[in-house]
């Protein structure tokens, strides 16, 4: 639970970074239609949520800054009983005033007029460059003679890099639910026939525990499907002897979790599966052990490439000298993605990877990132040794950078071969 005073402090911190004589606008997310007159469940824009905690649509934040003084305005949809009968109660202006400490709260309908009245010359307009809705576009066009346009989303992205203790507490809660889901998957998998059954078991645990949604579409990939990185159809029959790559995490109170485990369909790993799995697991642990303030994410990635390349040579998947293979990027055929990403309000958190001078941002206390090395050996790849063909493995944990090193926030989600096998055998 994040308190209003924390949201207010976030707005104040943002205001310090804005140009003097500027006006900033940020819109709530638009409802998204699914098909005909049905909609996807509404989910607030993460930047908007980060600054307000406000969950309704048809809303906007405006910050008017004159010299070092700023005023904050929240625009919300008015209460309309006839509409509320269908789509639920709204806070309305009065309700929002009680909860949110903006200088003023107005009706969303008045936004255009308010904006016209507050436009002055030589002003900077801050807005989210990637946002695109009618109301937004008309505001931006109102300001076409402005002095400068700057991306508000980038300013917020920088703040979102460092998580507060309240944010970390929510991520822990999300991970405790995701942990239960993955452990359930490990124990029930030998009894199931289809990938979607396993997906249902996982997402049942999410919902049952009050997780708003999954943080991203769950990947439940059996056998060779694991070699399709974004496999989400989850509709194949699970075959005995195969591995299942499960990349699934819930979103709890707007914060993500992002966990991958690779488990045997019938509860036990084969010898070849064990060899590959142990390689990926050892690399994952080694990379996590490197994490501390000051370290670059790119250094973690480079190290993961080296270690996986060495391992693949040892297992006969790649042939030649490690250095030369790395230089020629031969390992990329089997490890094509990065070592991980920021995580927070978004699973791939909209936080900066580089600073203003395009220099990489080193790890700092309070950052949360995923570590997820993998090896993907497609059955159609003729260079792959027969016993490894059709195996795809990824292991992913969510890591908090601490003052001295790091904490693996998902360390209790089983990943040792003996632990996974013992869960699968129980039933």
3 C-beta neighbours (distance < 10 Å), count? 10
195 vs 258 by CB, closer to Mn ion:
258
Q: Give me the numbers of helices (H) and strands (E) for the chain, helices first please.
A: 13, 19
End-to-end CA distance of the chain: 37
28 vs 370 by CB, closer to Mn ion:
370
Please give the helix or strand (H or E) that residue 220 lies within, else none: strand 219-222
242 binds Mn ion (CB under 5 A): no
Cα–Cα distance, 133 to 59 (Å, whole number) = 12
- Nearest approach in angstroms of CB 343 to Mn ion is 7
Nearest CA among 136, 149, 167 for reference residue 10: 167
Nearest CA among 103, 104, 100 for reference residue 4: 100
Specify the stretch interacting with Mn ion by CB under 5 A; choose among 77-85, 197-205, 297-305, 368-376: 368-376
Alpha helices in 123-245 (DSSP H): 134-142, 152-160, 165-188, 195-208
128 vs 258 by CB, closer to Mn ion:
258
251 vs 258 by CB, closer to Mn ion:
258
Q: Does the annotation mark 349 as catalytic?
A: no
Number of residues forming the site for Mn ion (CB under 5 A): 2
Contact 245, 234 (CB under 8 A): no
Considering the candidates 167, 376, 397, 398, report the single residue annotated as catalytic: 376
| Identified binder of Mn ion from the candidate list 331, 370, 373, 394, rule CB under 5 A | 370
Cα–Cα distance, 395 to 417 (Å, whole number) = 12
Cα–Cα distance, 254 to 107 (Å, whole number) = 25
167 vs 258 by CB, closer to Mn ion:
258
Cα–Cα distance, 15 to 95 (Å, whole number) = 25
Considering the candidates 56, 396, 397, 398, report the single residue annotated as catalytic: 396
258 binds Mn ion (CB under 5 A): yes
Specify the stretch interacting with Mn ion by CB under 5 A; choose among 22-30, 113-121, 236-244, 365-373: 365-373
Q: Does the annotation mark 10 as catalytic?
A: no
Cα–Cα distance, 230 to 79 (Å, whole number) = 42
The pattern of x and - marking residues 129 through 168 that bind Mn ion according to CB under 5 A reads ----------------------------------------
Specify the stretch interacting with Mn ion by CB under 5 A; choose among 133-141, 158-166, 363-371, 409-417: 363-371
Cα–Cα distance, 291 to 197 (Å, whole number) = 36
| Residues β-bridged to residue 375 | 393
Specify the stretch interacting with Mn ion by CB under 5 A; choose among 153-161, 217-225, 257-265, 274-282: 257-265
Q: Does the annotation mark 235 as catalytic?
A: no
Considering the candidates 10, 131, 261, 341, report the single residue annotated as catalytic: 341
Q: Does the annotation mark 253 as catalytic?
A: no
Q: Does the annotation mark 183 as catalytic?
A: no
Q: Does the annotation mark 376 as catalytic?
A: yes
Cα–Cα distance, 57 to 296 (Å, whole number) = 38
Considering the candidates 56, 167, 258, 305, report the single residue annotated as catalytic: 258
Q: Does the annotation mark 266 as catalytic?
A: no
Q: Does the annotation mark 37 as catalytic?
A: yes
Specify the stretch interacting with Mn ion by CB under 5 A; choose among 9-17, 51-59, 370-378, 403-411: 370-378
- Nearest approach in angstroms of CB 273 to Mn ion is 22
Q: Are β-strands 60-66 and 22-27 bridged in parallel, bridged antiparallel, or unpaired? A: antiparallel
| Residues β-bridged to residue 213 | 251
Contact 154, 131 (CB under 8 A): no
Q: Does the annotation mark 136 as catalytic?
A: no
284 binds Mn ion (CB under 5 A): no
Residue 80, both tokens:
């309309």
- Nearest approach in angstroms of CB 249 to Mn ion is 8
Considering the candidates 242, 251, 350, 372, report the single residue annotated as catalytic: 372
- Nearest approach in angstroms of CB 339 to Mn ion is 10
DSSP for 345-373, written as a single string? SSSS----SB-TTSPBPPP-TT-EEEE--
Question: Which stretches of the chain bind Mn ion, using CB under 5 A?
Answer: 258, 370
Catalytic residues: 37, 230, 247, 258, 337, 341, 348, 372, 376, 394, 396
């Amino acid at each position: 639970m994040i308190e209003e005073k924390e949201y207010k402090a976030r707005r104040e911190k943002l205001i310090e970074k804005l140009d003097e004589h500027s006006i900033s606008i940020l819109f709530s997310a638009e409802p998204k239609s699914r098909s005909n007159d049905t909609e996807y469940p509404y989910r607030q824009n993460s930047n908007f949520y980060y600054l307000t905690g406000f969950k309704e649509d048809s809303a906007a934040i405006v910050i008017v800054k004159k010299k070092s003084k700023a005023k904050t305005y929240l625009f919300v949809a008015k209460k309309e009983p006839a509409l509320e009968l269908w789509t639920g109660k709204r806070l309305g202006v009065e309700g929002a005033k009680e909860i949110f400490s903006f200088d003023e709260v107005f009706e969303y309908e008045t936004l255009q007029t308010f904006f016209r009245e507050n436009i002055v010359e030589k002003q900077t307009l801050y807005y989210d460059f990637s946002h695109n809705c009618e109301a937004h576009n008309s505001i931006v066009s109102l300001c076409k003679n402005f002095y400068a346009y700057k991306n508000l989303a980038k300013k917020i992205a920088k703040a979102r890099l460092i998580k507060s203790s309240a944010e970390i507490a929510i991520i822990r809660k999300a991970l405790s639910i995701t942990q239960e889901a993955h452990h359930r998957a490990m124990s029930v998998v030998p009894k199931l026939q289809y990938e979607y059954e396993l997906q249902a078991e996982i997402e049942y645990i999410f919902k049952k525990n009050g997780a708003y949604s999954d943080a991203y579409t769950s990947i439940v990939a059996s056998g060779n499907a694991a070699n399709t990185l974004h496999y989400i159809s989850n509709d194949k029959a699970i075959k005995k002897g195969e591995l299942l790559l499960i990349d699934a995490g819930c979103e709890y109170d707007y914060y993500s979790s992002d966990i991958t485990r690779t488990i045997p369909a019938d509860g036990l790993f084969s010898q070849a599966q064990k060899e590959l799995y142990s390689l990926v697991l050892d690399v994952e642990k080694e990379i996590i052990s490197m994490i501390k303030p000051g370290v670059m994410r790119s250094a973690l990635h480079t190290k993961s490439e080296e270690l996986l390349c060495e391992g693949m040579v040892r297992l006969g998947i790649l042939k030649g000298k490690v250095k030369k293979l790395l230089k020629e990027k031969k390992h990329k055929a089997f490890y094509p993605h990065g070592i991980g990403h920021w995580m927070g309000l978004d699973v791939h958190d909209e936080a900066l990877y580089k600073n203003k001078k395009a220099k990489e941002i080193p790890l700092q206390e309070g950052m949360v990132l995923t570590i997820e090395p993998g090896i993907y050996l497609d059955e159609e790849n003729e260079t792959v040794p027969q016993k490894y063909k059709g195996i795809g493995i990824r292991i992913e944990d969510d890591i908090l950078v601490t003052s001295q090193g790091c904490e693996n926030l998902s360390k209790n989600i089983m990943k040792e071969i003996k632990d996974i096998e013992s869960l699968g055998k129980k039933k």
